[in-house]
Amino acid sequence: MKTTSKSCRSIFRSQKGQNLIEFALVLPILLLVVFGIAEFGRAWMTRNIMTGAAREAARIAAVPPPGGSVAAAEARGNSILSTAGIATTVTVTDLGVSFGTVTATVNYAFPVAIAGFFGSGVATFPLSSSTSMRREY
How many other CB atoms are found less than 10 A from the CB of residue 36? Answer: 12
CA nearest to 105, candidates 78, 68, 65, 67: 78
* pLDDT top residue among 39 and 120: 39
Q: Measuring CA to CA, which residue among 70, 80, 23 is closest to residue 49?
A: 80
> Between the CA of residue 9 and those of 1, 12, 16, 21, what are the distances in Å?
13, 5, 14, 21
| 73 has a pLDDT exceeding 60 | yes
pLDDT, one tens digit per residue, over 94-107 is 888 888 899 999 99
Cα gap 97→118, rounded to integer Å: 51
Looking at every residue in the chain, the average pLDDT score rounds to: 84
Extents of the domains making up the chain: 13-134
Taking the whole predicted model, whether its pTM rises above 0.85 is answered as no
C-alpha torsion angle, residues 35, 36, 39, 41 (rounded to 10): -110
- 119 pLDDT higher than 60: no
Alpha carbon distance 66, 129 (integer Å): 27
Residue pLDDT, tens place only, 26-66: 999 999 899 889 989 999 999 999 999 999 999 988 887 76
